[in-house]
Amino acid sequence: MESSTPRIGVFFCDCGQTIKGLIDYDKLRDLAQNEKDVVHVDKVDFLCSSSSRESVTEAIRENGLDRIVVAACSPRAYLLEFQDVAERAGINRFMVEQSNLRDQVAWIHSLDEESATSKAMDQLAMSIARARKMRPSRFGPGAAVNEEMCSGCGVCATTCKAGVIDFKPIDGGHRVARVDRSECKACGACVAACPSGALNLEGFTNEEVIAEVDEFTEGLLDSKEPSPAILVFACHWCSYPAADLAGLKRMQMDARFRMIRTPCSARVDPEWVLRAMSRGVDGVLILGGSEGNCHYQGGNVRTRNRMLLLNKVLEQLGFDTSRLAVEWIDADEPYRFRAVIEDFVTKIAELGPSPMRAPAEEEKMTSALYHGRDELTHTAYR
């Protein structure tokens, strides 16, 4: 049923009017209808109800959709159910993206509809951009090897704490990595560590996340507003549920950050950070779980070590290293989540816009800084 050109459906949920009046759904609907590759948009009160899910199934079939974006609550709550909906409609169950507009937008910014709506529009556009890059998966989330690119260096195997990566010989005595997908935990640490770029994580591919980064950063280089523009990477098991819990408690906080959910903080590729900063982001915050509480047994340690090295690269490129921060927040720490967000937003606001944004001619950095593609930069933090 999938075609070469994506056919995206966007489905909004008002959650029984608990979001009504907190964000402007008319603006969100207009945005969705004008997005490239979006061919169907709908809004219901309770998208999670059995009757609504059946209507989504019918809409997928009637409109020939091959992927959907669900703009509703947290993906930790209903993503599996909407994947079932997709599967019943005849498309791959992993062609579903859920944009968290309730817990992490409307409910934590409920005192400022304008800011909440602006953030919701960005998060929705990022989700649609990610949906364009989604590809059907046979096995679900897990590491996959491009054998043509694999150097057989062994970094992935030493990074994998689950011990599911070994090697197989190929022609000429060369070896390539092999992943046991039945046992892969889909943390993505090996993917972020791979120096040759041969590994990718189905379900959280580099292409999907880069699409989100590029969507958020579109136009930032040409203007010093809005400022600060902050990107937050949050671990699905630790800091992301803390953000959900902050929403459940209606804890108000500054809206000047945008969130990308990752399976683990160790999945955050330093090149994502470099790309975001080279495209004008004022600050990047990476959130994982505290040491000893990582769902993947040490992913946070690998994150810390990798980002310490990245800080040295950023310093050489001329960035204030305060623009990148790594913090540890467990799932039951919504108050710490708010404190960390507020402190980081305040710090970046005081630093002012990134030097990459609309600089004077004499202040422009080298092309290597703009693209972050120097080979030494590419491998130094792996």
Can you give the CATH number for the domain in which 173 is found? 3.30.70.3270
3-state SS assignment for residue 78: helix
Beta strands 67-72 and 96-100, pairing class: parallel
Final residue belonging to a domain, choices 186, 202, 218? 202
Q: What is the pLDDT of residue 173?
A: 77
Helix residue ranges, H only, the chain: 25-34, 50-63, 75-89, 113-133, 155-159, 189-193, 206-217, 239-248, 270-278, 299-316, 334-351, 367-371, 375-380
Q: How many CB atoms lie within 10 A of CB 222?
A: 9
pLDDT for the residue 272: 96
Instruction: Report residue 368's pLDDT band, with 50, 70 and 90 as the boundaries.
Output: very low
How many other C-beta atoms lie within 10 A of the C-beta of residue 195?
A: 15
The percentage of residues in the chain with a pLDDT greater than 90, rounded to a whole number, is 81
**Does residue 130 lie in a domain region?**
no
Lowest mean pLDDT among 104-108, 169-173, 378-382: 378-382
Rounded to an integer, the average pLDDT of 84-100 is 97
Asked if the structure places residue 136 within a domain, the reply is no
In one-letter notation, the amino acid at residue 273 is V
Residues 328-350, mean pLDDT to the nearest whole number? 97
Q: In Å, how far are 155, 194, 205, 222 from 152, measured between CA atoms?
A: 8, 10, 21, 42
Residues 351, 215 share a domain: yes
| pLDDT at 371 > cutoff 60 | no
- Residue 361's pLDDT is what? 55
Among all chains, which residue has been given the structure tokens 């993503």? Answer: 79
Domain boundary, last residue among 178, 202, 226 = 202
Residues 240 and 176 placed together within one structural domain of the fold: no
Sort residue 216 into left (φ over 0), alpha (ψ -120 to 50) or beta.
Answer: alpha
What mean pLDDT is predicted for residues 214-226?
94
124 occurs within a structural domain:
no
Predicted confidence band of residue 117 (pLDDT cuts 50, 70, 90)? very high
Q: Which residues contact 112 (CB under 8 A, 6 or more apart)?
A: 255
Q: Evaluate whether residue 315 is within a structural domain.
A: yes
Statement to judge: residues 176 and 260 lie in one domain: no
Q: Does residue 14 belong to any structural domain of this protein?
A: yes
**pLDDT at position 364, please?**
54
pLDDT in tens, 8-42: 999 999 998 899 889 999 999 999 999 999 999 99
Give the pLDDT score at 17. Answer: 86
Judgement on whether residues 249 and 332 belong to the same structural domain of the protein: yes
Q: What total of structural domains would you count in the chain? A: 3
Residues 209 and 194 in one domain: no
Answer yes or no: do 107 and 251 share one domain. Answer: no
Query: Among 14-23, 126-135, 255-264, 288-297, where is mean pLDDT lowest?
Result: 288-297
At residue 42, the pLDDT reads 97
pLDDT over threshold 90, residue 376: no
User: Does the pLDDT value for residue 1 go beyond 70?
Assistant: no
pLDDT at residue 279, as a whole number: 96
Mean pLDDT for the stretch of residues 323-342: 97
User: Are both 280 and 360 inside the same structural domain?
Assistant: yes
* Together in a domain, 258 and 367: yes
**Do residues 196 and 158 share a domain?**
yes
Helix (H) or strand (E) holding 72: strand 67-72
- CA contacts within 13 A on the Cβ side of 373: 3
**Residue ending a domain, choose from 114, 134, 160:** 114
Same domain, 149 and 264: no
What local confidence, expressed as pLDDT, does residue 305 receive? 84
Q: Is residue 382 part of a domain?
A: yes
Compute the distance between CA of residue 109 and CA of residue 284 in angstroms, rounded to an integer.
Answer: 20
Among 76-85, 304-313, 347-356, the range scoring the smallest mean pLDDT is 304-313
Residue 142 has pLDDT above 70, yes or no: yes
Binned at pLDDT 50, 70 and 90, residue 363 comes out as low
Confidence of residue 3 (pLDDT cuts 50, 70, 90): low
Interval 271-302: pLDDT, tens: 999 999 999 999 999 999 998 888 887 777 77
Task: Flag whether 135 is in a domain.
Answer: no
Residues 6+ apart with CB under 8 A from 193: 155, 156, 159, 302, 306, 382
**Domain residue limits at 95:** 1-114
| Model confidence band, residue 197 (pLDDT cutoffs 50, 70, 90) | very high
